[in-house]
Chains A and B, each alone.
Chain A
Amino acid sequence: MKFEIQGQSLRIEGEVTIREIESLHQVVTELGLDKLNALDLSGVTDLDFCAWQWLYVLRRHKPDFHWTWPQASALSWLWTGLEI
């Protein structure tokens, strides 16, 4: 997994798993949720339940972010769950 913050946008790519979530969470928390307004997940190829939970909680906190969903169609059934 790779992630980068450009301006107010967080972009995540690749396979997102529990092993990276803690550091991702720390970076976002230290930066401050209010410093972000967009989450680009278009490059996400897979994710585990821990990563999914993190996105779900983030989505509940920040439904007004600009969310870009992943292209991977195999994941589409999961993303529907993020529409809160």
Chain B
Amino acid sequence: MDIKQTFLWEAEELLATISEDLLDLEANPQDKELLNQVFRAAHTLKGSANLFGLSGVSQLTHALESVLDRLRSEELELEAGLTDLLLRGFDQLVRLIKAIARGQEDPQPIPELVEKLQELSSGRDRTHEILTSGILPAVDEEYLCRLKGTDWAEICYHYARGNKLWQIVFEPAANLFFSGHDLILYARSLAALGRLAAHGFYLPELPAWETFEPLSCYLRWQIILATGQEVTRDQLAAEVEFLAGEETEVKLAEFTPALLDWEIDGHLGEDVTFAVETQTAEFLGAIGEELVALEQERNWSPSLPEAVRKIRADLQAIAGKQTLDPLAARALSFLVSTLALIQGYLERTGADSGELPQWWPEFIEAVGKALAVLVTGKLEMALGSLVLDIIELCSLETDLAGTQEAHAVAQEIDVDFICRIAKQQLKYLAPTGEVDPARWPLAQRILLNCARALQDAEWEAVLSGSDPDLASLSDRIAVHGGLAKARSKLSNRAEIVAAVPANPKAVLREGLFAGGIDSQVTNTVKIEQEKIDRLMDLSRELVIAKNSLPYLLRKLNQGVEEQQMAKDLKEKHALFDRLARELQTIVMEMRMLPLSHIFGKFHRFVRDYSRQSGKQIRLQVEGEGTLLDKSIVEVLAEVFVHLVRNALDHGLELPAERLAAGKDSEGLVRLRGWRAGEKVYLEISDDGRGIDVERVKSKAVEKGVLSAQAASALSREAALQLIFHPGLSTADQVTDLSGRGVGMDAVLRTVERVQGKLQVSSEPGRGTAVQIEVPLTMAMTRVLQVVVNGKSYGIPSEQVQETVRLKPKEMQSMQGKTVIVLREQIIPVIHLAQFFRMDQREATGNYAYVVILKNGVGLRVDGLMGQHEVVIKPLDRGLAHLACFAGATILGDGTVLLVINGLNIRPEGDDSHEV
């Protein structure tokens, strides 16, 4: 571990401690020692940051330290607003440390936050004003760089109309969905205050489909909102501030006229010219000649698609050259897309087309001409001829219009040219100011392509009618065409910014999206010195044990008698066995984390929730030192966010309601953890209103889950189980806080993923408790080895209810499906050989074996081979999509055992499985 890594690790630890201490300090403001402790920790962090030249971390820590110093000298009081500000400051430090861990050199804090802290420490008497004003971040230029040309057109349009413009950026935590937030609802409440001028979604990294977890949040979202002048920043902040926390960031900023002027007339204001290297120009010239040859073709031939593909590949290679001017690269990219359109057409039509279409020579000539013009460096001309020619060709020729390639071409096209074409079409449609209906079909097709090219769904909607609405069409063109000069520059600039690596904004953007979201600062585990010492001892013992093996070998070579050798081997085996077990135990312990990793963060969570909701809440945590496997802790951390949120939002009542019910105004949420044998139990309970079972039942009936008659016959315990049914929520309305999160069904599935069980109990008026039981570790799993068609498979013993041996005739058929009747229960049976689509062999034994899983399904196998303790490794990416396998392991004799995930094997009739 290098020294900077050590710093990051220590910083993370210090910040976690500071956060906890600040919460304690809020409860005990007179505790001077605690305050000194926080101050010292901040001071240490600042010192280390200076050593590494981290000016951003140092500046923010210094500002926080100064405020803490004023608290120490009692010039400030630790009121709730100040605690909020300090916590936000330290949250910001956590983000800076994470950014450094992702590779950013010297990330800077939000200037506004630093300014507030500096002003607080300056001693000026504005404390109240500072603490009551918003502390959301300022404009984020890196995200502005992500906007498309069309977005800038909208922005300029609203700017010209005198609207205020705001940038809102959501950077959600991965567990956003578990906390019940739906960003669409936030966007809609923002939209109610104005109009969404533009928006964009960004993925730091596209997850592979096989590893994509739909309940994890990957996306970031930028919204540009246009509002009237009367809307204030505080109004908007009130809509979104609730989302901001340690892990989720929300940025809100107003576009200033200066910012827009800078974008319009700033450093990218000069006319853009470019030069193509001589060698590249020669190559392009040669390609132009090949195009001239293609232009002469009149009939389809098998070599034609290949010839176009080759030209396209050559152009693509040039477009990818780093030395190429970005605008030239963009024009080439446009040509490449155009050739892909032609190639796609040729491949689709195939040999049966015979003669090439009428537009062929014209189209190829347009591409060749554009290429020739490109070599001369006259980009505007190149784009002009291409756009006008190709858009019309794409629109007029039904063979090309609407294809994916045509769409790709459209996406390359410059906004201004499209607006110009659209205006031409309007003139064509209404030459005298009155619409000529006969011209509508043609104009509609071309305008639709323009709308699609600009990704303007609203325009597309206007065009979808059977009659043209000239006013609406003009209005949409005006949106893109208003502020023509500025927009023309901007749309080009946005592309240039995206393409020029030397551009500082582009570099910033790369920094922003480096690494994944919510990357851990360190993926390290703290290990006690005692365990390291024990590991060292064991490694020495292993070396000594290993040294005895050559001695045994020599004895064997000398012809020692078998009995003596067996005895010696047995002794050595016992020694290695002991060492292996001890090693395993210690290594397993190293994987263990205390439950405080799950429970710890809820002190802050509950405090913030309490301040925002007006509910009085006491959080009681017990057993947070209980150890549990790291991988299980990570999974359950998400589950508890949801469970705690549920308890706070649905369980606990407001103080008045509690008092009316004869309860203490302060509600209690209790988190407990304990170990019993090889299991660990975690429990969350509250003393709130409890689950209204009758409402659960009526919801279930309303959703068609069961009949009213069946619902009324359900016991309270059985009715409670209905909350695990997908899509069943009792929340009457979707609020900011809940009703839109993952359901309890997802929580249950997550718990089952770590081989856990979940139980819920609830009493009306007295509260609800959810208890989770998980294995101590997932590193070792017990599997039942079974044989199917001579091949061995494993089934996790956790999933097995029992095994039965039957005579083949006891297998019965019911509606074409195999079942067995066991203790008067019908159990569907899946023949694993059939499921795996193996050639079925004749059963040779007198008995059939059925492994009955806990989900009530039986798996028929040929034989049972006993149980083993194994380490299951996940299948690699090529096989990872096979949900019916949990992974694979290697047995003592070296054979690979595929371990079946019984929960993903379904009864016959479901043909969707691919094995």
Interface positions of A (Cβ within 8 A of B): 17-23, 25-27, 29-33, 47-50, 52-54, 56-57, 60-61, 63-64, 69, 73, 76-81, 83
Contact B214 A19 (CB under 8 A): no
Contact sample, A vs B, 16 pairs, CB 8 Å cutoff: A18-B215, A19-B742, A19-B745, A21-B214, A21-B215, A27-B912, A29-B883, A48-B182, A48-B185, A49-B181, A49-B219, A56-B203, A57-B206, A57-B209, A76-B461, A77-B196
With A18-B742, A29-B209 as given contacts, are A80 and B729 in contact (CB-CB < 8 Å)? no
Given contacts A30-B914, A56-B203, A80-B456, 6 further A-B contacts (CB under 8 A): A18-B215, A48-B185, A48-B740, A50-B182, A52-B184, A80-B457
Question: Is B625 an interface residue, CB under 8 A from the partner?
Answer: no
With A57-B203, A80-B457 as given contacts, are A26 and B883 in contact (CB-CB < 8 Å)? yes
Which one of B201, B207, B741, B742 contacts A81 once the chains associate, using CB atoms below 8 Å? B201
Residues of chain A lying within 8 A (CB to CB) of residue B727? 19-20
Which one of B741, B743, B883 contacts A30 once the chains associate, using CB atoms below 8 Å? B883
Contact A32 B914 (CB under 8 A): yes
Question: Is B199 an interface residue, CB under 8 A from the partner?
Answer: yes
Which one of A25, A61, A76 contacts B458 once the chains associate, using CB atoms below 8 Å? A76
Q: Please, how many angstroms separate the alpha-carbon atoms of A54 and B746 in the complex?
A: 16
Residues of chain A lying within 8 A (CB to CB) of residue B740? 17-18, 48
Question: Is B749 an interface residue, CB under 8 A from the partner?
Answer: yes
Residues of chain B lying within 8 A (CB to CB) of residue A76? 457-458, 461
With A49-B184, A83-B455 as given contacts, are A22 and B912 in contact (CB-CB < 8 Å)? no
Contact A64 B404 (CB under 8 A): yes
- A-B contacts, CB under 8 A, total: 102
Residues of chain B lying within 8 A (CB to CB) of residue A26? 883
Question: Is B25 an interface residue, CB under 8 A from the partner?
Answer: no
Question: Is B864 an interface residue, CB under 8 A from the partner?
Answer: no
List CB contacts (< 8 Å) of B719-755 with chain A.
Answer: 726-727, 729, 740-743, 745-746, 749
Q: Please, how many angstroms separate the alpha-carbon atoms of A18 and B177 in the complex?
A: 8
Residues of chain B lying within 8 A (CB to CB) of residue A31? 912, 914
Residues of chain B lying within 8 A (CB to CB) of residue A20? 726-727
Q: Please, how many angstroms separate the alpha-carbon atoms of A63 and B421 in the complex?
A: 27
Q: Select from chain A the residue with minimum beta-carbon distance to B750.
A: A22
Q: Please, how many angstroms separate the alpha-carbon atoms of A22 and B212 in the complex?
A: 11
List CB contacts (< 8 Å) of B424-463 with chain A.
Answer: 455-458, 461
Contact B199 A50 (CB under 8 A): no
Residues of chain A lying within 8 A (CB to CB) of residue B717? none
List CB contacts (< 8 Å) of B371-427 with chain A.
Answer: 404, 411
Contact B207 A57 (CB under 8 A): yes
Interface positions of B (Cβ within 8 A of A): 176-177, 181-185, 196, 199-201, 203, 206-207, 209-210, 212, 214-215, 217-219, 404, 411, 455-458, 461, 726-727, 729, 740-743, 745-746, 749, 881, 883, 912-914
Q: Select from chain B the residue with minimum beta-carbon distance to A21.
A: B214
Q: Please, how many angstroms separate the alpha-carbon atoms of A78 and B457 in the complex?
A: 9
Q: Please, how many angstroms separate the alpha-carbon atoms of A61 and B457 in the complex?
A: 22
Residues of chain A lying within 8 A (CB to CB) of residue B196? 77
Contact A48 B184 (CB under 8 A): yes
Residues of chain B lying within 8 A (CB to CB) of residue A25? 212, 214
Which has the most chain B C-beta neighbours within 10 Å: A19, A47, A79? A19
Closest chain A CB from B478 CB (angstroms): 18
Interface pairs A-B: 5 shortest CB-CB? A76-B457, A49-B183, A83-B455, A25-B214, A48-B182
Contact A81 B199 (CB under 8 A): yes
Contact A23 B455 (CB under 8 A): no
With A30-B883, A80-B456 as given contacts, are A53 and B914 in contact (CB-CB < 8 Å)? no
With A30-B912, A52-B184, A83-B455 as given contacts, are A19 and B219 in contact (CB-CB < 8 Å)? no
Which has the most chain B C-beta neighbours within 10 Å: A21, A50, A61? A50
Closest chain B CB from A68 CB (angstroms): 12
Residues of chain A lying within 8 A (CB to CB) of residue B212? 25, 57
Residues of chain A lying within 8 A (CB to CB) of residue B181? 49
Q: Please, how many angstroms separate the alpha-carbon atoms of A32 and B177 in the complex?
A: 25
Residues of chain B lying within 8 A (CB to CB) of residue A61? 206, 209
Q: Please, how many angstroms separate the alpha-carbon atoms of A32 and B911 in the complex?
A: 13
Which has the most chain B C-beta neighbours within 10 Å: A61, A64, A69? A61
Which has the most chain A C-beta neighbours within 10 Å: B183, B214, B458? B214
Which one of B182, B215, B219 contacts A22 once the chains associate, using CB atoms below 8 Å? B215
Closest chain B CB from A6 CB (angstroms): 14
Which one of B176, B182, B201, B749 contacts A56 once the chains associate, using CB atoms below 8 Å? B201
Residues of chain B lying within 8 A (CB to CB) of residue A81? 199-201
Residues of chain B lying within 8 A (CB to CB) of residue A69? 457
Closest chain B CB from A69 CB (angstroms): 8
Contact A33 B209 (CB under 8 A): yes
Q: Please, how many angstroms separate the alpha-carbon atoms of A63 and B181 in the complex?
A: 28
Residues of chain B lying within 8 A (CB to CB) of residue A33? 209
Contact B726 A29 (CB under 8 A): no
Q: Select from chain B the residue with minimum beta-carbon distance to A33.
A: B209
Closest chain A CB from B426 CB (angstroms): 22
Closest chain A CB from B914 CB (angstroms): 6
Q: Please, how many angstroms separate the alpha-carbon atoms of A23 and B727 in the complex?
A: 11
Residues of chain B lying within 8 A (CB to CB) of residue A30? 881, 883, 912-914
Contact A22 B746 (CB under 8 A): yes
Q: Please, how many angstroms separate the alpha-carbon atoms of A47 and B729 in the complex?
A: 16
With A22-B746, A29-B883, A50-B215 as given contacts, are A77 and B206 in contact (CB-CB < 8 Å)? no
